[in-house]
Amino acid sequence: MSAPVALLDARVLTAEGFVTGLAVLMRDGRIADLLAEDAIPADAMRRDLRGAWLLPGFIDAQVNGGGGVLFNNTTTVEAIRAIAQAHRRFGTTGLLPTLISDDAAVMECAIAATREAIAQAVPGVLGIHLEGPYIAPARKGTHDAGKFRVPDADEVRMATSLDNGVTLLTLAPEQVPADTIRAMVERGAIVVAGHTAATYEQVRGGIDAGITGFTHLYNAMSPLQGREPGAVGAALEDDGCWCGVIVDGVHVHPASLRVALAAKPRGKVFLVTDAMPPVGADDPSYELYGETITAIDGVVRNAAGALAGSALDMATAVHNSVHLLGLPLEEAARMASTYPAEFLGLGASHGRIAPGYRADLVALDEDLRVVDTWIGGIGIRD
């Protein structure tokens, strides 16, 4: 058993809110205890955080790339490692490398690479997000419609074959038979609606078949209207479904996000970045489906003008949730950690600062900039 490490002089986010005078004791990758600073064991190594905000590490369910790497272009363990390392600088301690619509062979490689990355304990890798190719041409965004298809039984088995991590599948419920959605769920996948032109009734049918959430709410889905609630209306109405949101001030107007927060039960809206390779990289450009795309003033669009992911990181998403949406920091932090952990079925081990939980943590300064992160109790500067 290794010597414990005590993090002290921080404003610690607990289930009751922020608490001062509390030390977080980490041992063997877990949070061993929360205790008064004057009760720290004599054998503990001490780390003074000088009044920083100490939060559960951020969990991002939608990460297409980072550090100059796009997962679709390089489906390897090394690529996943580079992406995770780039995002860790911004407080992300858990993520799903995300593959947008592609051929079955590429999907197989991506799943195999994710399986191996988890087996190698690449820091922060929790599973995989397959965003497409079972989506709607009318709401394709930057996806290549030439890749779209309806999965047969063999492809369902392939798409849900990751056996050591989370599988998140984004699909359009009007494009995929309800029985196929049920089969995906029965095989352990978390299935969500996205890139969909579905009617309200079609989305409700998908929810009945096992859909439990919505990918980047408002974006690439049928809107809420007076006589046709669409996918957005179904998402806002259903108390059980989760909604990922991109809070960059570009993908969704802040007022629309406040409407979603008012409509949904607390804890059912969580932050995602939909990040592309410019995050954590010096080069603002990257290749997608053979097209060069460049982030301009932090906005990523393809030649047709469609948003092509984002240049957002999770620390900025938390900052924006406080300053654009007017949320308290503790709620913005939970939207980046506790709620996505629960959405992914990891709420018993991730997303909280409590004894027994993984020691995945992020410290922010007064301006909400990342000071340090810990994954499994190991700090970025250790």
Mean of all residue pLDDT scores within the chain: 97
Where exactly are the structural domains of the chain?
5-56+353-379, 58-343
Q: What is the pLDDT of residue 304?
A: 84
33, 238, 248, 274: which is the annotated catalytic residue? Answer: 274
Question: Cβ contacts of residue 71 below 8 Å, gap of 6+?
Answer: 63, 64, 65, 79, 80, 83, 97, 98, 99, 110
Compute the residue count for the chain: 382
Q: Quick one: which of 58, 61, 82, 87 has its CA closest to 70? A: 82
Distance CA 287, CA 289 (A): 7
pLDDT of residue 307: 87
Predicted pLDDT at 382 = 66
Indicate the pTM of the whole model.
Answer: 0.97
Burial class of residue 238 in the structure, from the number of CB atoms within 10 Å of its CB (0-12 exposed, 13-18 middle, 19+ buried) = buried
Write the DSSP assignment of 99-143 as a string of letters.
EES--HHHHHHHHHHHHHHHHTT-TTB-EEEEE-SSS-GGG-TTS
- Decide whether 5-56+353-379 matches 58-343 in CATH topology: no
274 is catalytic: yes
The pair of structure tokens assigned to 22 is 């509390």
In three-state form (DSSP H/G/I as H, E/B as E, the rest C), the secondary structure along 175-228 is CCCHHHHHHHHHCCCEEEECCECCCHHHHHHHHHHCCCEECCCCCCECCCCCCC
Phi-psi region of 312 (alpha: psi -120 to 50; beta: other; left: phi over 0): beta
How do strand 291-296 and strand 285-288 relate by DSSP bridges? antiparallel
Distance of CA 321 to the CA centre of its chain: 15
User: What is the rounded distance in angstroms from the CA atom of residue 314 to the CA atom of residue 247?
Assistant: 9
Q: Which CATH code of 2.30.40.10, 3.40.190.10, 3.50.50.60, 3.50.30.40 fits the domain covering 5-56+353-379?
A: 2.30.40.10
Residues in the chain, pLDDT under 50 = none
CATH architecture of 58-343: Alpha-Beta Barrel (3.20)
Cβ atoms within 10 A of the Cβ of 4, count?
19
Task: Find, among 186, 189, 146, 153, the residue nearest to 171 by Cα.
Answer: 189
How far apart (Å, rounded) are the C-alpha atoms in residues 170 and 130?
A: 6
What phi and psi, each to the nearest 5 degrees, are found at residue 5? -120, 130
